[in-house]
Structure 1
Amino acid sequence: MKYGLKSVLTAVVLLVAACETHVEVPSYARITFNHLPPITLDVASVSAKTIYQQPLIAPNVEHEFPVDIAKTAENWVNGRLRAGGASGTAALTILDASVIETKLAKETGLTGLVTTDQGHRYDATLTATLSAEDLSKQRAAEATVTVKRSQTVPEDATFNEREEIWYEMTEKLMADFNAELEKAIAEHMTPFRL
């Protein structure tokens, strides 16, 4: 009896294990800027900080993204900016790195039964200020940039499909951010360009 119960329990465990569906959760690479040419400023140090606080409640969903937008913006400093001077500082301050989710209206009636609607829209905003100052040389400069991206997701998207769309959205947002910061540095940070 003792061995019979043990055999039945082992068979049940093996049967349950065989029936499980394994869903692979993808991993996403950090978005970096090291492949782009560096921008050297006439300062002794460069830094980045985020003052934006994620609300962690709807309609904000940036905390659910597979790659953190604010941290990726901070990574921009490490990838693009170089300190090439003897004094002064440059700092990138992330003011907003939000993503708002909006539920979209769906088709009703017979049309709604045969169509796949877009279920949600995601609106991302990234705002940051790059400032530089050198008190010994009595110089200061500042530039603020804002970039936005919107993306809809089909109502039947799986968790993995939605995360992939969010990752691609973040990549595009960061490409826009990089381009806008390049322009802002060229226009507003001339006294600090080397």
Structure 2
Amino acid sequence: MSVGTFFLFACSSPPLQKTSLSLHFKDIPPYLVDVAAIEVINRYRSPFNDPYVEHLSPVTPADAIRSWASARFRAVGQEGTLLVTIADGSIEGKSLDTNKDFKALFILEQGANFVGTLSVTLEVLDAQNASLGSIVAYSSASRTLAEDASLTDRDYAMFYVTQALLDAFDSEASRQIDKHFHLFLR
């Protein structure tokens, strides 16, 4: 290993451990749903290549929705299922153009942008799996990152996007649940 390579390793920050960040949920009591089970299905499949970077996030949007569903719903019925289906849980990372002239040596610019998107369907099914009602909620969030950002900075930025996605999603889903799912709530 050369001295230069060693120096680069010594100066870089390690990425965050997945356990070092956790999502917070509003202190709102969970919805008591008249179903026997709550099931989360992830239909979104990450391409695992540019520009999609959700698989590098400390908490993926899909994992966030699983945690959200667990915290926000309680099954209190005898039959039926609340099906939570994730259609999109992506985070796209894009490089931003920065100045390359002499002046750029003296200024710090934003070098990357992360844009997250969530699309989730909540559907109440009866015992025969017939749909009794459904809603679809969407959210999006973004965050820029300085051109000299470390891996830790990148992880915090992606976590921020996931948390912002979840907060916006929770607001929209709650609004729709209160409006359209009143027959299924206790």
> 1:37 aligned to 2:12?
no
> 1:91 aligned to 2:83?
yes
Aligned residues: 175
Name the larger-Rg structure: 1
Please give the TM-score of this superposition, normalised by the length of structure 1. 0.81
> 1:179 aligned to 2:171?
yes
- Equivalent runs, 1:17-166 vs 2, <5 Å: 23=13, 25-27=15-17, 28-31=20-23, 33=25, 35-134=27-126, 140-166=132-158
RMSD of aligned C-alpha atoms? Answer: 2.3
Which structure has more relative contact order (CA 8 Å, sep 6+)? It is: 2
Please give the TM-score of this superposition, normalised by the length of structure 2. 0.85
Shift of 1:23: 5.0
Check 1:132–1:124 CA distance in 2 against 1; reply closer, same or farther (3 A cut).
same
Shift of 1:21: 6.8
State the alpha-carbon separation in 2 of the partners of residues 159 and 26 from structure 1. Answer: 8
Conservation of the 8 A alpha-carbon contact between 2:97 and 2:111: yes
Shift of 1:88: 1.5
Any unmatched runs of 5+ in structure 1? 1-15
Conservation of the 8 A alpha-carbon contact between 1:41 and 1:192: yes
Shift of 1:110: 2.9
Aligned amino acid, residue 50 of structure 1: N
1:166 counterpart SS class: helix
State the alpha-carbon separation in 1 of the partners of residues 50 and 169 from structure 2. Answer: 25
State the alpha-carbon separation in 1 of the partners of residues 158 and 165 from structure 2. Answer: 10
Aligned amino acid, residue 96 of structure 1: D
Conservation of the 8 A alpha-carbon contact between 1:36 and 1:79: no
Check 1:78–1:26 CA distance in 2 against 1; reply closer, same or farther (3 A cut).
same
Shift of 1:184: 1.4
1:1-55 Cα shifts (integer Å, max 9, x gaps): xxxxxxxxxxxxxxx9xxx679565432332548431101111111111010010
Conservation of the 8 A alpha-carbon contact between 1:120 and 1:153: yes
1:160 counterpart SS class: helix
Runs of 4+ in 1 over 4 A off after TM superposition: 20-25
Conservation of the 8 A alpha-carbon contact between 1:51 and 1:94: yes
State the alpha-carbon separation in 2 of the partners of residues 48 and 22 from structure 1. Answer: 37
Conservation of the 8 A alpha-carbon contact between 1:60 and 1:99: yes
Shift of 1:169: 2.2
Aligned amino acid, residue 145 of structure 2: V
State the alpha-carbon separation in 2 of the partners of residues 21 and 116 from structure 1. Answer: 19
Aligned amino acid, residue 32 of structure 2: T
State the identity %. 27
